[in-house]
Amino acid sequence: MRLFVALTPPPDAVAELAAALAPLRAAHPGLRWLPPEQWHVTLAFLGEVDDRARADVTQRLARAAARHPAPVLAFGAAGRFGDRVLWARVQGDAGPLGRLADSVRAAARRARIPVEDRPYRPHVTLARTRAQTGLRPLVAALAGFAGREWTASDLHLVRSRLGAGPDGGALHEPLVSWPLGPGDRMPGKPRSGQ
């Protein structure tokens, strides 16, 4: 099963960023724009994970979620990875967010799941392209964007099914979610219905 661990922005933050992107989407139909309902802040990409490792990492992620407070975040200006990926910056509680990402990656390593070992750069991917496309004008158009603050209250283990989305892209299905930080629920207990 192809998995990643992520935070999901609330609908009002998604709607605000989607509204800012609407003119760009209309002007650049050649880009493969990710559906806003699939936007997420990846903490760690786990890749293909077998059932044994998935059970192990699920327990470890529950413990990690209970140890970290819910960060307050906001979408910011755009950036790009080369000329193939357009993204929006995620800003706010950078220290707590970085520590949460480190904890998630450590949980994966302890479950013997290899993860990338590079500095964490919080972002949400907005669009991709297969051909070299000049993304600088889009980055410039979103340079002044500053979204409202939102609290990332839950950690999610998500299954990614390539080619299963309505547009032929990936379909993301949350498998289990845990509340971040101490609260009125037992630490590490999954959300009901998960």
Distance CA 126, CA 78 (A): 9
pLDDT in tens, 99-122: 999 999 999 999 999 998 888 999
pTM equals 0.86
* Confidence category of residue 192, pLDDT binned at 50, 70, 90: very low
Residue 105 CA to residue 149 CA, distance in Å, equals 25
Confidence of residue 184 (pLDDT cuts 50, 70, 90): very low
Domains, the chain, in order of start with CATH, read: 2-179 (3.90.1140.10)
Q: How sure is the predictor about 168, in pLDDT bands with cuts at 50, 70 and 90?
A: low
Which secondary structure element, helix H or strand E, spans residue 98, and what is its range? Answer: helix 94-110
On the question of pLDDT at 163 being above 70, the answer is no
Q: pLDDT exceeding 70 applies to what percent of the chain?
A: 88
**56-73 pLDDT, tens digit each:** 999 999 999 999 999 999
Provide the pLDDT for residue 70: 96
Q: What is the DSSP string of 18-79?
A: HHHHHHHHHH-TTSEEPPGGG--EEEEEEEE--HHHHHHHHHHHHHHHHHSPPPEEEEEEEE
- 111, two tokens: 């479950």
* pLDDT tens-digit readout, 69-102: 999 999 999 999 988 899 999 999 999 999 999 9
> Helix 51-67 to helix 94-110 angle, to the nearest 10 degrees?
150
Residues 183, 162: Cα–Cα separation, whole Å: 35
Alpha carbon 111 to its chain centroid, in Å, reads 21
Six token digits for residue 186: 């037992």
Q: Token match 């283990």: residue?
A: 157
